[in-house]
Amino acid sequence: MSQVVEWNANRGAASRIAEVWSFREVIKNFVSQDLKVKYRRSTLGFVWSLLNPLLQMTVISIVFSLLFRMETGYALYVLSGILPWSFFATSMDGCAMSIVSAESMIRRQYFPKLVFPLSFVLQNLITFVLSLTVLMITLGPLPFVGLKFSAALLILPLSFVCIVSVAIGLGAIVAVITVFFRDVQHLITVFLSAWFYLTPVIYPLEKMPHRYQYFFKLNPMFGIIEMFHRPIYYATLPTMLEMTSAILVAAVSLTVGLYVFWRYEDSLIFAL
C-alpha cells in the first residue's frame, strides 16, 4: 500500500514529470478555481474574454485600415494573431508571479513546483481555445471577416502544441527568475509589449520593407504566430520554414525551460 518516499535531489526528468502527473488533481483544482474566481467577479463572465480581443480587433483594424490601407478581411488577420499572442503574453505575466504568490502553500506542503506555472498556462489555454472557437464560428461568416473553412485548419492542433510548449518553457523560466529578482515582473510587461510590436502579429510581414524582412523572420515568435495566421486567414498551410521554426522554437524553449526550472527548483523555498 503506502510506498517509501525518499528525497532524491538528482531525480531525472521522467520521475519529475511523473511527480507532476501525480499532482494532476491539484492542477485541476487550481485551474478550475482560478477560472471560477476570474469569471465570478463580473456579471458578463466568460463574455469578457470574448469582448477583449473583439474590441482590440475592432480598434486595430480601423486604425490600421485607415493608416495602411489594408485589404478587406484584415480583421480576421488581426484576430488570428491577437488571440495566440494574448495567450502567450498573459501566460508569461501569470507565470512570473505564480510561485511567489503560492508561497504560503509551498511553506505548508511539498509540491513539485512546476504545478504553479503549469496551472496558469492551462487556465489561459482554456480561455484561448474557447474564445478562438467561439469567435471563428460567430464572426467567420460575416462579409468583412470572410473566414474560409479549409483543410488547412487541421494544422491548428500542432499550432497549439507549439505555442503551449513555448508558454510552459518560458513561463517556467520567468517563474524562477521572479523568485530571485522580484522586479523582473515589471520588466516582463515592458519587454512583452516591445516584442508584440516587433512580431508580425497585427501587421503582415509583406508590408515591411523587403530588406528588413529576414530580421523579422529571426524572431522566435514569428513562426509560432504564422502557425495561426496561415490556416485561419490565408487558408493555407504554413510554409516549411515557418513550420520548422515553430517546432524548433517550441522544442528548444520547452527543453531549456524545464532544465532551468528543475535546476533551481529545490532552492526556491529558501529564496521565497
Partner 1 sequence: MSDNYITLEDVTLRFRIYTTRGRSIKEAVVNLLARRNYGKPHADVTALQNVSLHIGGGQRVGIVGDNGAGKSSMLKVISRIYPPTAGRVSHRGFLVPLLEVGIGFNGELSGRENIFLTGAIMGFPRKAMAQKVGPIFDFAELNEFADTPIKYYSSGMAQRLAFSVATEIDPEILLLDEIFSVGDIHWVEKARNRMQALINRSRIMVFVSHQMELVTQYCNRAIWLRGGRIAADGPPAEVVAAYRDAADATSRPPPEPAPAIAAATP
Task: Name which of 149 and 191 has its Cβ closer to partner 1.
Answer: 191
Is there a contact between 105 and 111 (Cβ–Cβ < 8 Å)? yes
Q: Does 181 bind partner 1 (CB under 8 A)?
A: yes
Q: Does 271 bind partner 1 (CB under 8 A)?
A: yes
Pick the closest to residue 174 from 158, 156, 191 (CA basis). 191
DSSP 230: I
Site string for partner 1, 133-172 (x = CB under 8 A): ----------------------------------------
Q: Residue 46 Cβ, how far from partner 1 at the closest point, in Å? A: 17
Cα dist from 155 to 15, 125, 129, 230, 252, whole Å: 31, 17, 14, 10, 20
Is there a contact between 15 and 264 (Cβ–Cβ < 8 Å)? no
Task: Name which of 7 and 214 has its Cβ closer to partner 1.
Answer: 7
How far is 261 from 256, CA to CA, in rounded Å? 8
Q: Residue 125 Cβ, how far from partner 1 at the closest point, in Å? A: 20
Q: Residue 94 is placed in which grid cell?
A: 501569470
Which segment (2-10, 216-224, 231-239, 246-254) binds partner 1 by CB under 8 A? 2-10
Task: Name which of 60 and 188 has its Cβ closer to partner 1.
Answer: 188
Torsion sign, CA atoms 195, 201, 203, 209: positive
Interface with partner 1 (CB under 8 A), residue total 33
State the amino acid at position 186 in one-letter form: H
State the amino acid at position 215 in one-letter form: F
Task: Name which of 184 and 205 has its Cβ closer to partner 1.
Answer: 184
Q: Does 270 bind partner 1 (CB under 8 A)?
A: yes
How far is 196 from 87, CA to CA, in rounded Å? 12
* Dihedral Cα 239, 241, 246, 252, nearest 10 deg: 160
Task: Name which of residues 24 to 83 contact partner 1 (CB under 8 A).
Answer: 25-26, 28-30, 33, 36-37
Residue given cell 488577420 in the structure block: 77
Binder of partner 1 out of 107, 211, 218, 240 (CB under 8 A): 107
How far is 272 from 262, CA to CA, in rounded Å? 16
Pick the closest to residue 222 from 244, 252, 255, 251 (CA basis). 244
Q: Does 218 bind partner 1 (CB under 8 A)?
A: no
Q: Does 194 bind partner 1 (CB under 8 A)?
A: no
Q: Residue 19 Cβ, how far from partner 1 at the closest point, in Å? A: 11
Q: Does 260 bind partner 1 (CB under 8 A)?
A: no
Q: Does 263 bind partner 1 (CB under 8 A)?
A: no
Which segment (5-13, 63-71, 212-220, 252-260) binds partner 1 by CB under 8 A? 5-13
